[in-house]
Amino acid sequence: MAEQTQYEELVRQFSAFGAVKRDLGRILPSECPAGSAAVLTLLGRHGDMRMSKLAELLSVDMSVTSRHVAHVAARGWIERHPDPADKRSRILRLTPDGLEQLDELSRRTTRLLEERLADWTDEEVGQLIKLMARLRASFGDCRSTPVRIPAPVVEETTRTPANTK
Amino acid sequence: MAEQTQYEELVRQFSAFGAVKRDLGRILPSECPAGSAAVLTLLGRHGDMRMSKLAELLSVDMSVTSRHVAHVAARGWIERHPDPADKRSRILRLTPDGLEQLDELSRRTTRLLEERLADWTDEEVGQLIKLMARLRASFGDCRSTPVRIPAPVVEETTRTPANTK
DNA sequence: TATTGTTATACTCTATAACTATA
DNA sequence: TATAGTTATAGAGTATAACAATA
């Protein structure tokens, strides 16, 4: 259990992390934004799967998944096959073009990280991976546990209340 | 220097991190989205500053900063004072209401992190903070060094080229 | 001329809700 | 009735470009 000061610092780091994500986003092919890249990456790593499984791996709503999938399918990077066992479902599969796109993504991101993390040791990168994976688990495993937000504390002053409309 | 496989795993963790950010975002007051929270946090931590300084700390374009600042100013959480030394510039300052909003933010995020990271040690949280700070430095310090993106490798096949329109 | 800041526009990502088709 | 997936809509975040005011 950590202290409040540490938590505030952690939140600041989370916020600032956006700049890293954007830097990474800038090197993506213009036809393949981050959402598409995530779809290709997960299909390459886990193999064929249905929409609902992909949505779970992406940790986003299925409606969002559907949009990303439509984008990559329109470019011929994946195919959507009917599932013989359940006609409501569709099985997603990388095409050869999709595999090639995935390779291109890998080349670009590796190149960027080689440059940005040139002075990081193998072990440091591994540490960061491990901690971020644990972070994701700590959040993801309690996704069904929304934290109670208590009503704001009403302070005993004569000040005009903050606008909380 | 790390291996390509490690870099690919790191990118996957970066991508999945969005779920953590969204979980954190869900507990924010409806009037105070993440962008506003970041403005208040940085003003609380670094004290009064001008727009350009804030934009640098946020690592976003000043146009974006301007929008966030307008949002929090409209709610009375900050004031924009003219800079006597440079009439083009505006000095941003937290108001008492802004300070109170900042306290509320701190309470909420601390509560969430206490719950999510209940089984993390103080040291593990410190490790993550340290590595994310270093990551930010590694990226931020080379912001003027856009990575060269070589033309995609044309492979020797008879396959129809990928659509790179 | 260069810099500070604002505004208009456009794009990506996301969630909610309504809907279709199938189980 | 419940579930898999799609689509319409709305909201947040961001960048680029054009602009106004001042240095």
Say which DSSP state B93 is in: E
Which of A57-71, B59-73, B94-108, B141-155 shows the lowest mean pLDDT across its residues? B141-155
Contact, A51 vs A92, CB < 8 A? yes
CA of B94 vs C1' of C11, distance in Å?
32
A52 closest-nt by C1' vs CA: D4
Nearest Cα to B93, choosing from B53, B48, B50? B48
Residue pLDDT, tens place only, A20-47 = 999 999 999 999 999 999 999 999 999 9
pLDDT at B131 over 90: yes
Between B4-26 and A96-116, two packed helices, what is the crossing angle to 10 degrees? Answer: 90
Q: Do A97 and B143 touch (CB under 8 A)?
A: no
pLDDT at position A1 is: 58
Quote the pLDDT of residue A152: 44
The pLDDT value recorded for residue B140 is 81
Return the amino acid letter for B102: L
B91 backbone dihedrals φ, ψ, rounded to 5°: -95, 130
Partner-chain contact B20 A139, CB within 8 Å: yes
**Could B119 and A104 be called an inter-chain contact, meaning their C-beta atoms sit closer than 8 Å?**
no
Q: Which nucleotides of C are covered by protein (CB under 7 A)?
A: 3-8, 12-18, 21-23
Segment B87-98 shows an average pLDDT of: 98
**pTM for the predicted model, two decimal places:** 0.87
Cα–Cα–Cα angle for A109, A112, A113, rounded to 5 degrees: 85
Closest CA to A73 of A35, A26, A25, A27: A35
Per-residue model confidence as pLDDT tens digits over B21-44: 999 999 999 999 999 999 999 999
pLDDT of residue A4: 82
Low-confidence ranges of chain A (pLDDT < 50): 143-144, 148, 150-165
The residue type at B7 = Y
User: What CA–CA distance (Å, rounded) separates B150 from A27?
Assistant: 11
CA of A16 to C1' of D20 (A): 31
